[in-house]
Structure 1
Amino acid sequence: MTNVPAWHAKGDWFDVCRCNVPCPCSWAEPPDDDYCEGVLVWHIRQGRYGDVPLDGLNVVGLGTFKGNVWAGTHSEPRLGVLLDDRADDRQREALKTIFGGQAGGWPARFNEIFGAEMVGLEFAPITVEIANDMSSWRAEVPGRVRAAANALSGPTSEGKPPRMENLPGAETGPGQIGTQGKATADAVDAFVFKWERVGKSSKHITFDWSGPDAS
């Protein structure tokens, strides 16, 4: 890819969606009722695009589709994106290039798989909080998005969040670790999207990407 510098970004991704627990997408199956709508959140713990630092920046995606993304049988995919307004001009360009797929790596592959119609791209204040023990995660874009969840627990979990490895449908790519949760907030009023609910599926999955030659 011409003029794309070496880059690397690692951190946390999570979603909240309308499916019952667990989300079938994690298992490369179609969503409940064959329809998905949800919030996707990326928090970059460590990142660099060439000499541009990306540490601490956030991205929020709002999306819908019908069918099975992983089988290539989905339709009507739509996506709106909110990028961290704390980013300076060079960081903004880096975020747009990476998450738009032009920088290669897993985001390029996922964009190719999803093939969404972009319904909006804006910069906004984004707050993300993730518990160190992965027991909870949350994100907020004031007046537009609230997404939060607690990791699942039960009588045999011994107080440890459940871990998922080698997921057949990991939105952040192969080799990442997932934690299944249940949403405590899922409210959206942005672009063409509007919904509000609680108690449905959520999962946290790590990401570790690089480019332009990695996939």
Structure 2
Amino acid sequence: MIEWYIKAREFANCNCDYGCPCQFNALPTTGNCEAAVGYVIDEGKFGDVSLDGVKAAMVAHWPGAIHEGKGTVQLILDESSSEAQRDALLKIMKGEETEPMSTMWSVFAAMTDTHLDPLVRPIDFDLDIEERTARLSISGVLETTSEPIRNPVTGATHRARIDLPHGFEYRIAEMSSGDTQTGPDAGIQLTFEKSYGQMAEIHLGHTGRLN
């Protein structure tokens, strides 16, 4: 097994209501699971390949809860990354070179029947976890934004976090409100408005979560 690690930031927007029951081993809000996720790796290595600064994204659909399987996933890799970096990240995000079920990517891969051909496109991704704001833009493929959840009466920002001491993705995630619209080049069509958003720092490796 090739040793690897990443320190990254992510923003995920799914079709669940705020709070996403899946984070608590409950069934998704509407019975199925759909999501768009963006990643920016601040520091990382796959064998001797540096992953510093690499960006990636994912769109996914499961007809039921993720653990029930039969998913469809498409990965999007940044055009500015090298071929070696893209190959490394594809392996990581397909759950390869990883102890089984030890990262969310390994779980997703195991629960996916249809792996659509990955796309290589310019990825524009900015996020501020503290402010709960993000924008993920991939021309023709995906537009996703995040803002703080707001009090429905006063409009004041509302802050909430989820703490998963033994999770396979993050330790602490900030909650936000997300909007997503996929474009004609995406293999999975998604439309979300003011739905569950999570933003987190993730520290993962071939043995699982590292923090």
Equivalences for residues 80-95 of structure 1 within 5 A: 80-95=74-89
Cα deviation, 1:126-173, whole Å, max 9, x if unaligned, reads: 111111524212211012101111133559xx97842221178x5xx1
Structure 2 CA distance for aligned equivalents of residues 60 and 174 of structure 1: 15
Equivalences for residues 16-95 of structure 1 within 5 A: 16-69=13-66, 72=67, 74-95=68-89
SS at structure 2 position matched to 1:67? coil
- 1:166 corresponds to which residue? 164
Question: Cα offset for 1:23?
Answer: 1.6
Question: Which among 184, 191, 198 is matched to residue 193 of structure 2?
Answer: 198
Question: Which among 74, 96, 99 is matched to residue 93 of structure 2?
Answer: 99
The verdict on how the C-alpha distance between 1:108 and 1:23 changes in structure 2, with shifts beyond 3 A counting, is: closer
Using structure 1 for the length normalisation, give the TM-score.
0.82
Structure 1 CA distance for aligned equivalents of residues 107 and 11 of structure 2: 15
The verdict on how the C-alpha distance between 1:159 and 1:16 changes in structure 2, with shifts beyond 3 A counting, is: closer
Structure 2 CA distance for aligned equivalents of residues 135 and 198 of structure 1: 16
Using structure 2 for the length normalisation, give the TM-score.
0.84
- Report how many residues are paired: 203
CA contact (8 A) 2:11 2:127 kept: no
Amino acid of the residue matched to residue 45 of structure 2?
R
Question: Cα offset for 1:196?
Answer: 2.9
Q: Which runs of 4 or more aligned residues in structure 1 lie more than 3 Å from their structure 2 counterparts after TM superposition?
A: 158-161
Gaps of 5+ in 2: none
The verdict on how the C-alpha distance between 1:19 and 1:161 changes in structure 2, with shifts beyond 3 A counting, is: same
The verdict on how the C-alpha distance between 1:152 and 1:108 changes in structure 2, with shifts beyond 3 A counting, is: closer
- RMSD of Structure 2 on Structure 1 (CA): 2.6
CA contact (8 A) 1:62 1:79 kept: yes
Amino acid of the residue matched to residue 162 of structure 1?
A
The verdict on how the C-alpha distance between 1:141 and 1:112 changes in structure 2, with shifts beyond 3 A counting, is: closer
The verdict on how the C-alpha distance between 1:175 and 1:75 changes in structure 2, with shifts beyond 3 A counting, is: closer
Question: Which among 132, 135, 138 is matched to residue 138 of structure 1?
Answer: 135
Cα deviation, 1:85-136, whole Å, max 9, x if unaligned, reads: 1111211211112112222152563245423411221211111111152421
